[in-house]
Structure 1
Amino acid sequence: MTADSGSTRRRGAALEADILDAVWEELAAVGYARLTMEGVAARARTGKQVLYRRWPNRAQLVKAALPHRFGTIVDQVPDTGELRADVLGVLRLMAERQRDMGSDVVVGLLGEAPELDPTTFGIMQDVTRTLLERAAKRGEIATADLPARVITVPAALLRYEMMLSRTSIEDHVLVEIVDEVFLPLVGRADTPEARTSGGDGTGL
């Protein structure tokens, strides 16, 4: 079957699914560094122009393949009734995704961050803001109206760890990000320092 005949038989969602499946097959075969639009197109039995009509570069293509393979973190946001557990839960989902994707893909994507849609990294900011709003309604923190740079801290620090490490991120790193950096920034008293100093956990 030629590339042209494959592309004429498949349309819309069916063709896109084949392409996104081909992304992961190609990544497994050659790795992120050697991934090309041409290679994915050949594996999907279509023309590279079909890919470029949907995705302007390989970073955008791989990003599109993530929810196709793993689902989205937005659909898995925890709601435990406690801010600390919720944020840890989100970071653990991110770390689990890193293990599933492989460090090669994670580091490759982060290294080409300027090639990604500007809204890409805003997703985790929106997730964290949702967790903060819930916590504020419960009275855990005084307000969820915090600077954007504070809200992005957990995901940004985890991405930094991912860039430095070629192995899976250990859970104690996630705990340190939450307990030693993020919770003190948002004004929650239920941190290790507050517990040892007799804080009552009200955040006041």
Structure 2
Amino acid sequence: MQVDHRKGPRRRGEVLEEAIMQAALAELAEVGYMNVSMERIAARARTSKAALYRRWPDRAHLIVDSYVRFVVDDVDIPDTGSLRTDLMVLLRQLANVITSPVVMMLFGLLVDAGDNGELRAVIRERVATLKPVLISDILERARARGELRKPLTRRQSTLPIDLLRNEVVQILLRDGPAGEIPDSTIEEIVDEIFLPLVRA
């Protein structure tokens, strides 16, 4: 006998969307991106496929939004009173997030994006634009404390996160099991590259 997972209290709006996105990431972690289906996500979220398609056109858009909502949005922007310490704490958090098993399984999403210009645009909009948001408050506070001696361009402002992303790419391209980004690498990004640039 097939169980109807949709039976239960009726959910709407943000409550339903959150349940769907949690189900999407759980499904991703269990079966990998290539085996994710809207039908399986709907069953796990105890809703209908129609409820998913009213909000997202396909699985890739749903996974991108779920990643941003439950992975990146959980990053706490530090406020320690020091630019260096703020950057170290932020990059450590981001390193832990973007080397997590969920993110490693998003390779399939990038494969889909290769032939889908609309999806590439979604990834750029939803993920790439997070960089200045994550670091802008840290830089504004540092500027108010006098730790920044000159205005920074957008590219200069996001340099620490860009360099961290490059480290992740190297991990993903390596043979064998993925490893973590060591604290020494984060210290190099902050102490040897970014701080000398902004304090010159």
TM-score range, shorter chain: 0.7 to 0.9
Rounded to whole Å, the distance in 2 between the matches of 1:110 and 1:90 is 25
In structure 2, do the counterparts of structure 1 residues 52 and 161 end up closer, same or farther at CA, with 3 Å as the change threshold?
farther
Partner in structure 2 of residue 161 of structure 1: 167
Show the counterpart of 1:120.
Answer: 127
Shift of 1:80: 1.2
| Structure 1 Cα separation of the partners of residues 126 and 104 of structure 2 | 23
Letter in 1 for 2:44: R
Q: Does the CA contact (< 8 Å) of 1:60 and 1:117 recur in 2?
A: no
Shift in Å, 1:42:
2.9
SS in 1 for 2:85: helix
**1:146–1:68 Cα change, 3 Å:** closer
Is the CA contact 2:97–2:103 (under 8 Å) kept in the aligned structure 1?
Answer: no
Structure of larger gyration radius = 1
> 1:40/1:83 Cα in 2 relative to 1: closer, same or farther (>3 Å)?
same
Q: Which residue of 1 aligns with 2:31?
A: 30
The Cα shift of 1:101 comes to 4.4
Q: For 1:82 and 1:47, how far apart are their aligned partners in 2? A: 49
Please list the CA deviations of residues 77-106 of structure 1 after superposition, one character each: whole Å capped at 9, or x if unmatched.
111111111111111111122354444235
Counterparts of 2:191 and 2:109, CA distance in 1: 28
Which residue of 150, 158, 162 maps to 1:152? 158
- The 1:107–1:86 alpha-carbon spacing in structure 2 relative to 1, beyond 3 Å, is farther
Match of 2:142 among 135, 150, 154: 135
What is the CA-CA distance between 1:26 and the residue it aligns to?
0.8
Q: Secondary structure at the match of 1:9?
A: coil
Residue in 2 that maps onto 1:195:
none
8 Å CA contact retained: 1:128, 1:152: yes
Q: Note if 1:53 corresponds to 2:58.
A: no
Q: Which runs of 5+ in 1 are unaligned?
A: 189-202
Normalised by the size of structure 1, how large is the TM-score? 0.74
Query: Alignment RMSD, CA only?
Result: 2.9
When normalised by structure 2's length, the TM-score is 0.76
Instruction: Give the counterpart letter for 2:10 in structure 1.
Output: R
CA deviation vs aligned residue, 1:113-140 (integer Å, no higher than 9, x gap): 7242614322221232221221121111
Residue segments in structure 2 that go unaligned for 5+ positions in a row: 114-118, 172-177
CA distance, structure 2, for counterparts of residue 16 and residue 83 of structure 1: 36
Native 8 Å contact 1:37 1:51 kept in 2: yes
Report the count of equivalent residues.
185
The 8 Å contact of residues 103 and 162 in structure 1, kept in 2 or not, is answered as no
Paired with 2:166 and 2:72, the residues of 1 have a C-alpha distance of 23
CA contact (8 A) 2:25 2:67 kept: no
Q: In the alignment, is the contact (CA less than 8 A) between 1:7 and 1:15 conserved in 2? A: no
Higher relative contact order (CA 8 A, sep 6+): 2
* TM-aligned CA deviation for residue 7 of structure 1: 9.0
| Gap change, CA 1:31 and 1:158, over 3 Å in 2 | same
Q: Greater shift after overlay, 154-163 or 51-60?
A: 51-60
SS at match of 1:61: helix
